[in-house]
Chains A and B, each alone.
Chain A
Amino acid sequence: MTALQKKSENPVAHLSASDVEEIGRRLDAIRQEVVDSRGADDAAYIRKVIDVQRKIELASRAVLLLSKFPPAWVLGTAGLSVAKILENMEIGHNILHGQWDWMRDPKIHSTTWEWDMASPAEQWKHSHNELHHTYTNVIGKDNDLGYGIMRVDEDQKWIPLYLAQPLWNFVNACFFEYGIAAYDLELGKNLSTPARRNDPKFRAAAKQVLGKIRKQATKDYLVHPALSGPSFVPTLAANFVANLVRNLWSHSVIMCGHFPEGVETYEKTSIEGETRGEWYLRQMLGSANISGSAAMHIMTGNLSHQVEHHLFPDLPSNRYAEIAPKVKAIFDEYGLRYHTAPLPQQVASAWHKVFRLSLPNGWLAATNAKNLPQQLGLLYKLTTGGPKVRRVHDRAQRIAATRARQAAHAAEAAELAPAA
């Protein structure tokens, strides 16, 4: 997809400035309703989730002490996977957002919480809460868009290296927590020059991450296996699998949040002097929800309500479901697309985009069974032909797209003509 500002069919063109501000006011009112009614039930909810998560974890680790017996391995691994997912998603992510700071409980607070994840809370809060949530889907500002390693937009120039991006994306999914740690460190940028590498700030941050990873790995790959005695290797394997399951799960959920086809991206210049209403609008169109059951919502940390979460990142997650219909009503009233679909569909859509953009613009759409040999030939040429060949292809693509648009307008006009 192309940054919203460059699209022929701008999905917000029909909104006036006062519409946008009215949307902002209505959303502020929804936020205020929740703020005014936060109370003992919400506090009880998060405490319950934490209590249940810790007990599942303790029980699973206890069962894994006997993990050389296959049923114990299966049960313990499944339980630990669930515990680790809950810990990162519904608990850690949301507490670190400050969703529960209002309780004034120092034990459940964004400033004191640390989570079971390679990236230290402090670093993650900066890159996630501050950068991603403020600059959501702004190309060049929001590193969550492709995590700096992928082509996520037609406007990014295609180079042959991107052919491998489905593979990178899969590898990133398997080791997602390390990917996030590297990304929070801005590893790519910071390793690129000696000056950056030796910056004391970067070195301190890197040291902090390595320390965290060492502790995490010691726990899962040394201490608990050792405690299992004769079950050392099965427990180690169980912990590895639980981490893998969580990585794949959280990667999938997070891909669904901003990656499915049809989610809008923005140009850097478009957010200069952005009003509150415009910020809200960007969040509305830059996020996608996952529909599903209550259990599904909890396991995604309510990131299944990505739209609501991005509008109100600091409201308690257990309240997103309740405000979702009100938020959707605003989308409907103003003719905006409330992007929601079941998990498999959103994951497929996100992966489709990863594949599509790993290829030169227009290639996937133009390819079918019949023309496959020619298309492969074209791809080979573009891959091996150098920048000039690619530029020519790009220009041809742009011209074709303009023509198609003009033809569509003409057809539309012709259709309307007799009626007029």
Chain B
Amino acid sequence: MTTTGPGLRDRVTRLVEAATTPLLPRDYLDLFAPLRSGADLRGKVVAKRHETADAVTVVIRPGRGWREHVPGQYIRIGVDVDGVRQWRAYSLTSDRAAADGTISICVKAIPDGKVSNHVVRDLRPGTVVQLDQATGEFTLPGQRPAKALFVTAGSGITPVMGMLRNHLDELPDAVLVHSAPTAEDVVFGAELRAMAAAGRVRLVERHTDTDGFLKPAELAELVPDLHERTTWACGPAGLLEALEEHWAAEGIADQLLIEQFRPRVQVTGEGGSVTYNRTGTTVESDGATPILDAAEEAGLIMPSGCRMGICYGCVLPLREGAVRDIRNGELTVAAPGDGVLVQTCISAAAGACDIDH
């Protein structure tokens, strides 16, 4: 066996780069092995199965650069919808021992959800998607709690399912209170009921179409020893706020961990305050003034070009917020990490905006 010193490897790398310039060797390797080690993290969809009428589990084989996740964590996934890359966060649901190196997420189609509807209805096995490493604090501690409570609603079950599949047998006493409109709407319903039937978890299903929404006071009745439990909660913002209030009122706020996948409600009105994060400037801008003009009026030095939307010399990252194309009113909305770039010369604020400049 021969060893190659870093010097030699560097020289080879430089030689290969000199042969592929202005591209990088990876641009060619990506054509043949997009999942290889050293590539940007991607994954290939290997299977898709329906959990309910509008929720699917997507099994993904991540690239070689994938690092193990901790159950309960989520990933951001970049999917091309109508040719446009869209990033969303989904909790990992896979059972690591049984997954053979794959990971899974569960996606529920939400009304008007661009990405969720695409994933549920159109995403095909074989598609390569973009990934980020798993992240998130909504996990079980190394020291497993003696008594655990999980309160979930709708697709809020997904991070908890990740924990249950991997660690349920390490939890001596676990209760799951799950809300869904009907019994059929319970994501992973059959599997959860099987876990409960085997005595591994106490499952309380709440069918909100008939039973109404769960109130924290009722929860106290359902789980009388709630004070003794560490609680993980995931679901709609309303439920989580109510739980936080209740736990705070009971003086046990430190026993509640929540995970929130806020529906992305952007104020998409006319105008808004535009923040330029590198200069720390905030400019109030109306819905008719290009953010380029507004920034320059405030004394910022901005990249610019034709000022009519054709040359792309003014493009800057919109880290978060919403802008409107003043030519046709088209709205562009961005969340952190989406990597959305906008032409500042024809974009007006349509809500608060954070521009990377």
> A109-B341, A223-B18 known; 18 other A-B pairs, CB under 8 Å?
A35-B328, A35-B330, A44-B83, A97-B312, A98-B312, A101-B315, A102-B83, A104-B86, A114-B23, A116-B22, A129-B306, A129-B312, A215-B18, A216-B22, A219-B21, A279-B308, A313-B310, A314-B309
Contact call A40/B31, Cβ cutoff below 8 A: no
The stretch of A50-58, A286-294, A320-328 that contacts the partner chain: A50-58
Give per-residue flags for B326-344: 1 if the beta carbon is below 8 A from chain A beta carbons, else 0: 0110100000001111010
Selected from A106, A109, A227, the residue in CB contact (under 8 A) with B19 is A227
Contact call A104/B84, Cβ cutoff below 8 A: yes
Contact call B31/A55, Cβ cutoff below 8 A: yes
Interface SS of chain B: helix, strand, loop or mixed? loop
**B83 nearest CB neighbor, chain A only:** A43
Please tell me if A218 contacts chain B, counting CB pairs below 8 Å. yes
Selected from B27, B305, B341, the residue in CB contact (under 8 A) with A111 is B341
**A121 nearest CB neighbor, chain B only:** B22
Residues of A close to B308: CB separation below 8 A? 134, 276, 279
CA separation between A28 and B19, bound complex, in Å?
A: 44
A-B contact pairs, 16 of them (CB 8 A): A35-B328, A38-B82, A51-B31, A101-B312, A104-B84, A104-B338, A105-B85, A115-B22, A125-B311, A125-B313, A129-B311, A133-B311, A134-B305, A222-B18, A223-B15, A313-B311
Please tell me if B244 contacts chain A, counting CB pairs below 8 Å. no
Beta-carbon contacts under 8 Å, A241-263 to B: none
**B340 nearest CB neighbor, chain A only:** A104
Q: Which residues of A contact B (CB under 8 A)?
A: 28, 32, 35, 38-44, 51, 54-55, 58, 97-98, 101-107, 109-111, 114-116, 125-126, 129-130, 133-134, 212, 215-216, 218-219, 222-224, 227, 276, 279, 313-314
Give per-residue flags for B4-37: 1 if the beta carbon is below 8 A from chain A beta carbons, else 0: 0000000000010011111100011001000000
Contact call B22/A39, Cβ cutoff below 8 A: no
Contact call B306/A218, Cβ cutoff below 8 A: no
Contact call B305/A126, Cβ cutoff below 8 A: yes
Contact call A43/B80, Cβ cutoff below 8 A: yes
Contact call A218/B18, Cβ cutoff below 8 A: yes
Residues of A close to B313: CB separation below 8 A? 125-126, 129-130
Residues of A close to B311: CB separation below 8 A? 98, 125, 129-130, 133-134, 313
Closest A-B pairs by Cβ, 8 of them: A43-B83, A98-B312, A129-B311, A114-B22, A130-B305, A104-B85, A39-B82, A134-B306
CA separation between A411 and B330, bound complex, in Å?
A: 56
Contact call A125/B330, Cβ cutoff below 8 A: no
What's the least CB distance linking A103 to chain B, in Å? 6
Residues of B close to A115: CB separation below 8 A? 22
Residues of B close to A212: CB separation below 8 A? 22
Contact call A314/B312, Cβ cutoff below 8 A: yes
Residues of B close to A219: CB separation below 8 A? 18-21
CA separation between A102 and B315, bound complex, in Å?
A: 12
**A58 nearest CB neighbor, chain B only:** B28
Residues of A close to B86: CB separation below 8 A? 104
What's the least CB distance linking A80 to chain B, in Å? 13
Selected from B20, B82, B306, B312, the residue in CB contact (under 8 A) with A40 is B82
What's the least CB distance linking A397 to chain B, in Å? 37
